[in-house]
Structure 1
Amino acid sequence: MDLLPLRYFQVVARHEHISRAAVELRVSQPSLSRTIARLEKELGVPLFDRQGRQIRLNSYGAAFLARVDRALRELDDGRQELSDTAGPVRGSVAVASETLLTLASSLPGFRTKYPDVDVRLYQSSGAVMQERLRRGEVDLGLASQRIDDPALETAEVLRDEVLLAVPTGHPLASRTSARITDLAGEPVVTTTGEFWLRQLLDRLFAAAGQCPNIVCEGNELGATAFLISMGLGVGFVPVMAARYDQAGVTFLRVEAPDCYRVLTFAWRRDAYLSVAAQRFRDHTTESLRSEARN
C-alpha cells in the first residue's frame, strides 16, 4: 500500500473537512477526494460518513486511523533514528508550553550550540499539550503542572515558587507576605480554567474557604503582571516571571502551603525521542535550573 494516501487520510481524518485538508496538504480538492475514494475502494469499506459536503470519520475510519497513526509514527521514528546515528545533531524539534516566556532565556544558547536544529514552539494549555503529544504533533511538552498520563514519560525540571503581585501603592504593597484571607473581595487578574495559574488560584482560595473576585481572565499568562501594574487587580506570578522588570508591581510571598508550580517535561512513552529533542530537553532543564539558582 502506498504511504501517501495514508498520510492524506490522516489529515482528512483530523479535519473531517476535504477543503481544509487540501489547503494543509497543498493539493486540489478533487485530487484529494479521488485519493481517499481509491483508498476506500482498496480497503473495501467507507472510512467516512458523507452528508452533502459534510464528512465524519466512521467506526471503520476510526479503527483504521489508529493503525495508520501507529504505523506511520514507527516509520517516522525509524527514519529519525537512522538520521541521528549518521551525523551531527540536526533536524527539528516541536515543543509545546503553557507560556513561551518560560523558554525564552534558554533558546539563544540552544541555537548557538545546535545551529542545525530547527525549533518550533506552540503555546498550549495543559490539556491541549497532552493531546498534541499523544497525536505526535509535538515532541516535547513543558508543563507548569504535574502530568498523570500513562502514555507519557515525564521528568521534573524544577519547582518554582508563586508570588502574589499587587500594584505599587496597594495597601498590601508595604508587606512582605500575605494570606489568602487578606485577598477577600480584592479584584483578581488570572487566566481561564484550562491553565495552571487559574487551577492554583482556585485550589488556594478553596482551601482558605474563600471565593475569588475575578475581574479579568485570559489565555496569556505572560500578560498577568502587566495587567496588575495597570491597576486592574492583584494576582499570582511565578518567581521566574517576577524576575523580569515589572514597573508598577510589588511581589509578596504567599502564606499558603504548596504555592508553587512544578515545571515538567513530557514526551511520548512509546515513541522514539530524537537526539535533537533530547538535547533540547537537557539544555533547557539545565538552563532553567541555573536561572533558578541565580
Structure 2
Amino acid sequence: MTDFEELRQLVAFQRFGTLSAAADELHITQPTMTRAMRRLEREVGVPLFDRSAKNRLALTPAGELAAEEAKKLLEAYAVFLEKIRNEVNLHNKIVVASVAPGPLCFLEHIAESNADWRKAITIHGELINPDTALDELVQRKSTMVITDREIDDPRVDSLYLGKEFLGVAIDNFTPIAQRSSVTFADLAGLSFAVVHDIGPWKGLVEAHIPNAQFLYQQDLAALEQISRYSTFPFFYSNLTRRLRLTDERFMTHTRTPIAIDDPANRIDFYATFLHSNRRVTLPIQQHLAQHWPQAA
C-alpha cells in the first residue's frame, strides 16, 4: 500500500520539475526517490511519468492528476494529525482565544480571583483572525473563542457577552481634557500610543479619527514608559480601565480619562464554542456576561 512519503515525493517532483531537485528538497538521494516513484506507479497501475524524452522525466496527465490529489490527501492528513493532537492538548484544559485583547484581559482578571479557573483556563495570548474563529474550534485549537460577531453554524453556540467601548486618556493641559466626553472626530490630528495588536479596534479607530498617528508598540513595558514620560494620549476600555496595567499608566496623574461618546464606539462580543464543549464553557460565558463592566 502506498505510504505518505511516496505521495510527498510525487508532490515535490511536480513542484520542482526534476528528481534531483525534489530529492535535494526532501533530503534524500535521487536513487531512493526513483525507486519510490516506481513503487508508486506499480501501486497505482498506470504510468505516472513520461520517460520518452532522453535525460528528461515528466509527469503524464495521469501523473499530474495524481500529484494534485496527493497534495489534497497530504493536506487532509495534516489537518487530521493537528486535530487529534489538539484534542489531547485540550484534555482537562479550557483554552480561550479572542479576536480582541480587551475580553482576554477581563477574563484573566476574573480568573485571578478564582482558584479553579486559574488552574483550568489557559488564555491564548495571540489574537486570532475573526475569519478563522470557527476553524479554531473545529480543529480543537481552542475550547472557546471570543468573537466580535455571532457565528451561525449548527456545530456551535454563539452567546452574547457584552459590548466594549473606548475611553481616551488625554494630557491634562490639552483643552479637550476639560470636557466630559469627546467624539472620534474631536481627536483628529492627535498621535496615540497604542498596543501593537488591538484586533478589530485598529480598523475602527483608524477609520474614524481623521489625520491621526498611531504609534503601535509591541512591548507593553515600553508602552507604559511612553505613557509615563510623554504627553501622547492612549486608549482604555470598560474592560481594561480597572486593571493594574491601566492604573499604572495613570499613576503620574498627567492624564484625564475622557469618555468617547460616538455611535461608532462599540464592539459587541460573543462567546463561541462547540456544542460538545457546552458543559465546561457555558459557566464561563454566564459568569463573564453577568460581570461584564458597563462603565469605564
**Which of the five TM-score ranges fits, normalised by the shorter chain?**
0.5 to 0.7
Tell me which residue corresponds to 1:266: 272
1:152-210 C-alpha deviation (Å, 9 max, x unpaired): 652221112221222343332222111223222211233568722212203423xxxxx
The structure 2 residue matched to 1:184, chosen from 181, 188, 194, is 188
Distance 1:232 1:61, change over 3 A: farther
1:121-154 C-alpha deviation (Å, 9 max, x unpaired): 33214348625445432222123x2255758652
| 3-state SS of paired residue (1:292) | coil
Tell me which residue corresponds to 1:171: 175
User: What is the aligned residue count?
Assistant: 237
Q: Please state which structure has a larger fraction of its residues in strand.
A: 1
Residue 231 of structure 1, CA deviation: 2.6
Tell me which residue corresponds to 1:105: 109
1:20-40 C-alpha deviation (Å, 9 max, x unpaired): xxxxxxxxx99xxx9xx8xx9
Tell me which residue corresponds to 1:255: 261
C-alpha distance in 2 between matches for 1:222 and 1:155: 34
The structure 1 residue matched to 2:122, chosen from 119, 122, 139, is 119
| 3-state SS of paired residue (1:267) | strand
Distance 1:226 1:280, change over 3 A: farther
Distance 1:219 1:162, change over 3 A: same
Tell me which residue corresponds to 2:62: none
Would you say the 8 A contact 1:188–1:234 is kept in 2?
yes
Tell me which residue corresponds to 1:60: 69
| 3-state SS of paired residue (1:263) | strand
Would you say the 8 A contact 2:160–2:271 is kept in 1?
yes
Tell me which residue corresponds to 1:12: none
- In structure 2, give the amino acid aligned to 1:63: K
Would you say the 8 A contact 1:189–1:233 is kept in 2?
yes
| 1:93 partnered with 2:108 | no
| 3-state SS of paired residue (2:276) | coil
| 1:200 partnered with 2:204 | yes
Tell me which residue corresponds to 2:60: none
% identical equivalent positions: 13
Distance 1:293 1:249, change over 3 A: same
Distance 1:156 1:224, change over 3 A: farther
C-alpha distance in 2 between matches for 1:43 and 1:120: 47
Residue 212 of structure 1, CA deviation: 3.2
1:197-253 C-alpha deviation (Å, 9 max, x unpaired): 212203423xxxxx2321402457898677445435224321121223242432212
Would you say the 8 A contact 1:167–1:249 is kept in 2?
yes
C-alpha distance in 1 between matches for 2:203 and 2:95: 26
Unaligned runs of 5+ in 1: 10-28, 47-57, 81-89, 206-210
C-alpha distance in 1 between matches for 2:221 and 2:201: 11
Tell me which residue corresponds to 1:161: 165
C-alpha distance in 2 between matches for 1:282 and 1:273: 14
Unaligned runs of 5+ in 2: 9-26, 49-66
Distance 1:167 1:114, change over 3 A: closer
Would you say the 8 A contact 1:141–1:265 is kept in 2?
yes
C-alpha distance in 2 between matches for 1:267 and 1:219: 29
C-alpha distance in 2 between matches for 1:102 and 1:43: 57
C-alpha distance in 2 between matches for 1:190 and 1:217: 5
Q: How big is the alpha-carbon RMSD for the aligned residues of Structure 1 and Structure 2?
A: 4.7
Tell me which residue corresponds to 1:86: none
C-alpha distance in 2 between matches for 1:273 and 1:195: 28
The structure 2 residue matched to 1:137, chosen from 137, 141, 146, is 141
Would you say the 8 A contact 1:110–1:283 is kept in 2?
no
| 3-state SS of paired residue (2:240) | helix
